[in-house]
């Protein structure tokens, strides 16, 4: 059997570069959309770098019960938030080298309506294809896997036929405490992501922005080269 590495992350709005670094290093990427939605999380917001510093872009969502899973969260279109986001992005990046190609992508990707998870997947998967990444994408909500925390993650890995799990470093402590993967003898590696500075048109470099920042400064070709460089350093 050929190795098949799985990575699992909650669907994030305009995620940072480490998200795509994880996608590039995996054969199958699972959007963990069957867990509880958290307000004021990266599930519905992220940062770009405006003329005056960091600017937070937030997708408004409709009212929901506290235990509603991410896959069931509906976007609220009561206000023209897409127009506001695009205006903020134009204001921040109109003078950057790859503004035109980045804006064409965002105008299309942000047009997704309905559920927040669908919007986030459309942006992430669309960007991955622009980056020529061939990773397979799956929604956890389509798998019906049982369990909580590490047990749930292991069930997902098995459901997608993975032979190994590539985990974000932030999950290291609780996965070690749970001991589920170790007990099952299921191979786990932890992502070694190292941010690499790129030209932002200002100094000093501001790390961990939404991938939009790198896209507007480098274009798709330059962004792919940056992700490859991060992989080489990790």
Sign of CA dihedral 188, 194, 200, 203: positive
**Distance (Å, whole) CA 216 – CA 223:** 9
pLDDT of residue 165: 97
Q: What is the pTM of this model?
A: 0.96
Can you give the pLDDT at residue 170?
83
Condensed to tens digits (0 to 9), the pLDDT of residues 74-105 reads: 999 999 999 999 999 999 999 999 999 999 99
**Model confidence pLDDT, tens digit, residues 46-74:** 999 999 999 999 999 999 998 999 999 99
The number of beta carbons lying within 10 Å of the beta carbon of residue 216 is: 28
Residue 169 binned pLDDT confidence (cut-offs 50, 70, 90): confident
Checking DSSP bridges between strand 136-139 and strand 5-9, what pairing results, if any?
unpaired
Rounded to 10 deg, the angle between the 116-130 and 99-109 helix axes is 140
The per-residue pLDDT of the chain, averaged, comes to 96
What is residue 185's predicted lDDT score, i.e. its pLDDT?
97
Per-residue pLDDT at 233 exceeds 90: no
Confidence band, pLDDT 50/70/90 cuts, at residue 177: confident
* Listed residue (75, 74, 70, 73) closest to 85, CA to CA: 75
Query: Which pLDDT belongs to residue 173?
Result: 86
Torsion of Cα atoms, 199 then 129 then 70 then 29, to 10°: -100
Q: pLDDT > 70: what percent of the chain? A: 100
């Amino acid at each position: 059997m050929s190795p098949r590495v799985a990575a699992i992350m909650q669907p994030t709005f305009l995620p940072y570069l480490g998200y795509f670094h994880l996608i590039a290093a995996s054969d199958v990427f699972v959007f963990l959309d069957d867990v509880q939605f958290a307000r004021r999380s990266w599930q519905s917001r992220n940062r770009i770098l405006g003329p005056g510093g960091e600017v937070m872009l937030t997708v408004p969502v409709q009212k929901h019960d506290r235990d509603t899973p991410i896959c069931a969260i509906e976007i609220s279109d009561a206000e023209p938030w897409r127009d506001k986001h695009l205006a903020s992005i134009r204001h921040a990046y109109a003078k950057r080298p790859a503004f035109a190609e980045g804006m064409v992508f965002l105008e299309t990707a942000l047009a997704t309506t309905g559920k927040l998870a669908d919007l986030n997947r459309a942006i992430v998967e669309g960007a991955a294809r622009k980056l020529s990444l061939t990773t397979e994408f799956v929604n956890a909500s389509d798998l019906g896997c049982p369990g909580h925390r590490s047990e749930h993650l292991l069930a997902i890995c098995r459901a997608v036929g993975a032979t190994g799990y590539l985990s974000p470093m932030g999950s290291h402590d609780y996965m070690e405490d749970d001991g589920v993967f170790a007990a099952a003898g299921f191979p786990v590696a932890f992502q070694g992501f190292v941010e690499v500075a790129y030209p932002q048109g200002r100094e000093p470099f501001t790390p961990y922005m939404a991938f939009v920042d790198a896209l507007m400064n480098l274009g798709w070709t330059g962004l792919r080269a940056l992700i490859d460089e991060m992989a080489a350093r990790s």
